[in-house]
Amino acid sequence: MSTHIPAAFDAAIANLPRRYVGPGGAIAVLREGEVLAKHVWGWADAERRIPFTAETMTLVCSITKQFTCALMLDQFPDPSALDGDVRRMMPLLGSAAPDALRLAHNQSGLRDYWATAMLCGAPIEGRFTDFDARRLIARTSSLQFRPGTRYSYCNQNFRILSDIIQERAGRDYAELLRERILVPAGMPRARLAADTSNVPGGTVGYEGTVESGFRPAINNIIWTGDAGLACSIEDMIAWEQHIDATWDDQASRYRRQAAPVHFADGRTASYGFGLSRMKILGREATGHGGGLRGWRSFRFYIPSERISVACLFNHMADPRAAALDALAALFGEKAPPAASAPAPDWSGRYIEPETGLALRVEPAENAVKLHFAPHPDLLGGNGDGSFGTSPRLSAEGGAVRMQRPLDNIDTTLTPVSGTPGLDVAGTYRSTEYGADLTVINAGGGLYAACSGELGIGAMQALLPHAQDIWLMPCPRALDHSAPGDWTLAFRRGADGEVTGIEVGCWLARHIEYERVA
């Protein structure tokens, strides 16, 4: 391991405020527990001219998940002790419930509740309480896949775990988290900040861009074990030092959290115990990002180099990219150029048969653009006729094959064509969620809106995909990770009349609606 620090490293750190423009931010880079760089800039509250400092509290959002899993392992070294509690939280579930470990590994098969909340009429900036969370979880009567067979990011996996820990311990989750995990790790300022409308210290998160202008983001959700932690960069430094100091102890909590995990078929999974397993500049690492409107964060640890990076923004720039810029400068490395390859003739519209989700492939320069998950993937050529790695597209016997190792999906895409008709207008009901989807033909334009126990959603213009398949865009939601496009696959009876819809997005699939009007 080299101890040399290139001159370009300091320059890269100093350039971050200009490269990732926004109200404020902080970054820390550590090696062997020693801080190589700590830089803060900008404003915690631009309107009141309060500077962003090393003690400024920010919402680290989904980074919380690893702390919830650390507390679970602290209180229940054998998480199977919680399996019965998981089942009791979903009394209507008509199949075997996922066990606690499948929740911790995002292999539960549960649909993400921030996505299904939008189907229940939740306003984008509406209030979402603990009561709302409990009743939405309790409504679960089906799963989107058999537990252990696939990966799907699901926030309530970790809310369920934190609720169970609190009930079993007979103590407040926030108090227990601080006492057992945060304080021993040397994180004096870190705390649970469940109410996203009231950030400790008054730090403001901002939406917008330089071009559109920045404005304070409005968040009104209550969350706990899935994304409730507030930290300063000093707290994150302490967490990274704690990880490095305990890494050589095979029995340490983080070492257990970072150990290999598997799917039910034995394949190695890339996520477990609230941590992503990833490669950072070709090196094995564990870490996680976090996001809510106005807040972005990212942290990782590379054991082979004993290097950690943590980056916090109170705006919507990309902290992962900023962290990689700093690391690349430290290593004196650059990302290898993408292979030059002409875009294949795969352009078109598809359905992924297992998930039932709509998919588009578009050509790009020396690449293809894949529209499937909430955000499009730009897949560079590999030199062998395939594009991308995870996901990866390739030609197989005249068809297009998509491999998503993270999700344990290997599938052949189904081409679709045609233009969907306007005769799908009507009202549809999901029994599972007690929610309605209303489709209206308004002068030749098709619009849809969701309603249910969380409110009445706004009308959205539908986009045609193929025969009997429309897309309902949802680029903004309660959570930062919005559903993206909902696939609306309309069903017809023997007489050709529309009888129902299968609704799905990447975060919540296979939701059945029956036509009621």
**What are the residue ranges spanned by the domains of the chain?**
7-75+172-331, 348-415, 426-515
Q: Which two tokens stand for residue 213?
A: 């202008």
Q: Which two tokens stand for residue 262?
A: 């598997």
Note the pLDDT of residue 2: 55
Note the pLDDT of residue 345: 84
Average pLDDT over residues 307-317: 98
Min mean pLDDT across 46-55, 329-338, 352-361, 426-435 is at 329-338
SS3 262: strand
- Which residues are tagged catalytic? 62, 65
Note the pLDDT of residue 343: 72
- Relative to beta strand 348-352, strand 414-415 is antiparallel
Q: Is the pLDDT of residue 82 over 70?
A: yes
7-75+172-331: which CATH architecture? 3-Layer(aba) Sandwich (3.40)
Q: By the 8 A CB rule, do 261 and 94 touch?
A: no
Average pLDDT over residues 34-53: 98
DSSP conformation class of 178: I
Q: What is the pTM of this model?
A: 0.95
pLDDT in tens, 90-148: 999 999 999 999 999 999 999 999 999 999 999 999 999 999 999 999 999 999 999 99
Q: Is the pLDDT of residue 176 over 70?
A: yes
DSSP per-residue codes, 415-445: E--S---STT-EEEEETTTTEEEEEEEETTE
Note the pLDDT of residue 299: 98
Does domain 426-515 match CATH 2.40.50.140?
A: no
Q: What CATH number does domain 348-415 carry, 2.40.128.50, 3.40.50.300, 3.40.50.970, 1.20.1050.10?
A: 2.40.128.50
Distance CA 434, CA 425 (A): 20
Domain 7-75+172-331 matches domain 348-415 at the CATH topology level: no
Q: Phi first, then psi: give them for residue 166, nearest 5 degrees.
A: -65, -45
Q: By the 8 A CB rule, do 157 and 106 touch?
A: yes
Q: Phi first, then psi: give them for residue 134, nearest 5 degrees.
A: -65, -45
pLDDT in tens, 426-475: 999 999 999 999 999 999 999 999 999 999 999 999 999 999 999 999 99
SS3 202: helix
Distance CA 438, CA 449 (A): 5
List Cβ neighbours of 2 (8 Å cut-off, separation of 6 or more): none
List Cβ neighbours of 114 (8 Å cut-off, separation of 6 or more): 155, 477, 478, 479, 481, 507
pLDDT in tens, 141-156: 999 999 999 999 999 9
Distance CA 170, CA 223 (A): 19
